[in-house]
């Protein structure tokens, strides 16, 4: 199996405070990894650092995407190379329509891949197809990105964007929080349908329930800035019972 992502001894801080303290993780193509861990452990920090959020400073370590130095790439290049983050808190962008936003994103990625931009018609067909996957309403197109969306709609919209962009590495940061039971099923099915033997997913969650739908190959416990335990999906069940006390 080909190595997709390799994180070696990653240290990162924000506002001068060290959050990631020597994190190691290898993800191969075709794998789904769940990351669980107490509030404030650094899970969202890890997703921010992997996607190049300028608020965070990497102080040591390496991250390689298919062998290339991920940390040296601009955030938009990482995205075009196939790193996608479903944000824990998706951002509202008043005045920028979903259509305009998504079309720009898709065509920037296509240009990066040396492909022609999609025509208006091709683009709209693609939108329609992917919206069906997430059971999203048509009227979404003309609304501003995430503006006035409910918590659950925002999360669905993240996975819709993932379906549009077909990333090779999807990081889902608490995508299940705020979803009702039906929405959870729809979102999870959407994620599962996007799975291929070539791509991989990192699923950050607090709840075992999501992992009934999106079945992970590995479950990691992230505590105090490090991966402190790795197991299979039974580890999630164990954590649900006993909590994180023994990792504190």
Partner 1 sequence: MDTSVLHKGERLEKVFLNEPSLDLHLVQEAGSCVRIYVINFDSSRSRDLEVFNRIAIDQAGEGCETEIYALAYLKGDEKVTTETHVTHAVGGGSSNQLIKFVLDDKSQGRFLGELKIAQDAQKTEAHQTNRNLLLSEDAEMRTQPQLEIYADDVQATHGASTGQLDEAALFYMQQRGIGKQKARQLLVNAFMKEVLDKIPDSLIPDSLTPLLDSIDGVVQ
Ligand X SMILES: Nc1ncnc2c1ncn2[C@@H]1O[C@H](COP(=O)(O)OP(=O)(O)OP(=O)(O)O)[C@@H](O)[C@H]1O
Binding site for partner 1 (CB under 8 A): 51-55, 74-76, 79-80, 84-85, 87, 90-97, 99-105, 108-109, 112, 120, 123-124, 142, 144-145, 161, 165
- Taking each helix axis from N to C terminus, what angle separates 98-112 and 151-165, rounded to the nearest 10 degrees? 30
The residue (of 86 and 199) whose beta carbon lies closer to ligand X is 86
- Tell me how far, at minimum, the Cβ of 1 lies from ligand X, in Å: 28
Q: Angle CA(199)–CA(150)–CA(34) in degrees, nearest 5? A: 30
- Tell me how far, at minimum, the Cβ of 146 lies from partner 1, in Å: 9
Pairwise CA distance, residues 66 & 28, whole Å: 9
- Tell me how far, at minimum, the Cβ of 44 lies from Mg ion, in Å: 3
Which does residue 109 touch among partner 1, Mg ion, ligand X, none (CB within 5 to 8 A, set by kind)? partner 1
Token representation of residue 102:
């998504």
Binding mask 75-94 for ligand X (x = CB under 6 A): -------------x------
Instruction: Give the distance from CA 168 to its chain's centroid.
Output: 11
Binding mask 87-106 for Mg ion (x = CB under 5 A): -x------------------
The residue (of 86 and 98) whose beta carbon lies closer to Mg ion is 86
- Tell me how far, at minimum, the Cβ of 65 lies from ligand X, in Å: 21
Among 32, 44, 51, 157, contact with Mg ion (rule: CB under 5 A): 44
> At a CB cut-off of 8 Å and minimum separation 6, what does 113 contact?
80
Token representation of residue 34:
């769940």
Length of the chain: 248
Residues interacting with ligand X, by CB under 6 A? 14-15, 17, 19, 37, 39-45, 88
């Amino acid at each position: 199996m080909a190595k997709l992502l390799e994180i070696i001894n990653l240290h990162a801080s924000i506002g001068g405070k060290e959050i990631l303290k020597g994190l190691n993780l290898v993800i191969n193509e075709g794998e789904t990894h769940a990351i669980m861990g107490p509030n404030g452990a650094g899970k969202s920090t890890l997703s921010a650092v992997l996607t190049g959020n300028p608020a965070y400073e990497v102080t040591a370590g390496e991250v390689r995407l298919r062998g290339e130095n991920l940390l040296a790439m601009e955030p938009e290049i990482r995205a075009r190379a196939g790193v996608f983050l479903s944000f824990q808190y998706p951002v509202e962008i008043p005045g920028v329509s979903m259509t305009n936003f998504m079309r720009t994103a898709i065509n920037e990625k296509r240009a990066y891949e040396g492909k022609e931009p999609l025509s208006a018609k091709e683009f709209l067909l693609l939108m329609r197809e992917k919206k069906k996957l997430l059971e999203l309403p048509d009227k979404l197109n003309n609304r501003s990105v995430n503006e006035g969306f409910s918590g659950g709609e925002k999360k669905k919209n993240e996975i819709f964007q993932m379906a549009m962009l077909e990333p090779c590495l999807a990081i889902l940061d608490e995508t299940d929080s705020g979803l009702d039971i039906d929405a959870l099923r729809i979102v999870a099915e959407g994620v599962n349908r996007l799975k291929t033997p070539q791509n991989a997913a990192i699923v950050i969650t607090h709840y075992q329930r999501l992992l009934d739908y999106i079945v992970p190959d590995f479950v990691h416990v992230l505590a105090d800035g490090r991966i402190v335990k790795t197991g299979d999906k039974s580890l999630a069940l164990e954590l649900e019972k006993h909590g994180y006390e023994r990792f504190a």
